[in-house]
Amino acid sequence: MMRRSLLRGLLVTLPALSAGLPAQADALHSLSVFVREVKSGRASFTQTVTAPDSGRAKLSRGHFEFLRPNRFRFVYTQPFEQSIVADGGKVWIYDVDLNQASSRKLAQALGGTPAALLAGGDLERDFVLQAEAPLGGLEWVRATPRTADTGFKSVRVGFRGSELAALEIVDSFGQRSRLDFSDFVANVPLAPEAFRFVPPAGADIIEQ
């Protein structure tokens, strides 16, 4: 269940008015610049998942990279090994322990989800964007989906200057998933072929 909750938090991706308007405008500007100008990237991440009925947090770690349009790879290394790979046409999820790979068509898997931020979706078409007050040294933008069938309530995007620093996702069950990024490098040279997923020999394949 923990494994699926992490994936749901990723794929499924009240303004505080006390802050000054320039800071809020900067947050929206940072998001706009990121979507428009950052075509690829690489970083490490720590993900914290908190259920609404429990104060206990579940931690996982890994690294990710993306290449617009429609290609990204999240590799979880702790506490278990798992990969999420978008190859331009499909999204693959591979569980190392189970040696099981499942796939869905990209449009079905992403839609208006937080992953569209990396895939290169039309954020203003899919979300209502609203700047929030700076918090924890980051500038925040809240993205609320325009449709009700996305599987999540909202996503907050945090920037440190122009650098992507965090994503915080609240799903339809009230579960909160936060990814904190480190060592982010923008516009790194990546080839589309690097995102091709080949199921390991003997893997159980589930295609939807």
69-122 pLDDT tens trace: 889 999 999 999 999 999 988 889 999 999 999 998 887 666 545 566 666 666
- Bridge partners of 207, per DSSP, are 103
Could you give the dihedral angle defined by the CA atoms of residues 23, 29, 34 and 35, in that order, rounded to the nearest 10 degrees? 140
Q: Has residue 193 been placed in a domain? A: no
Q: Has residue 104 been placed in a domain? A: yes
> Over the stretch 161-200, which tens digit does the pLDDT of each residue have?
888 899 998 888 888 989 999 999 999 999 999 999 998 8
Count up the domains in the chain and report the number: 1
Q: Has residue 117 been placed in a domain? A: yes
Residue 67's pLDDT band (cuts 50, 70, 90): very high
Look-up of token digits 């992490």? 6
Mean per-residue pLDDT of the chain: 81
Degrees (nearest 5) of the Cα angle 138, 132, 39? 60
Q: Has residue 194 been placed in a domain? A: no
Q: Which of 10, 42, 9, 22 is nearest to 164 (CA)?
A: 42
pLDDT of 21 > 50? The answer is no
Q: Has residue 205 been placed in a domain? A: no
pLDDT at 70: 87
pLDDT at 27: 84
pLDDT at 121: 63
Coil vs helix vs strand at 107? helix
Look-up of token digits 């990237």? 41
Q: Has residue 196 been placed in a domain? A: no
CATH number at residue 121: 2.50.20.10
How confident is the model over 125-134, as a mean pLDDT? 87
pTM for the structure as a whole: 0.79
* Terminal-to-terminal C-alpha distance of the chain: 20
| Tokens matching residue 73 | 């790879």
Q: Has residue 80 been placed in a domain? A: yes
Q: Has residue 200 been placed in a domain? A: no
pLDDT of 63 > 70? The answer is yes
Per the structure, the complete domain to which residue 114 belongs is given by 2-186
pLDDT at 119: 66
What 8-state DSSP symbol labels residue 147? S
pLDDT of 17 > 60? The answer is no
Q: What length does the chain have? A: 208
| Tokens matching residue 99 | 């040696």
pLDDT of 203 > 50? The answer is yes
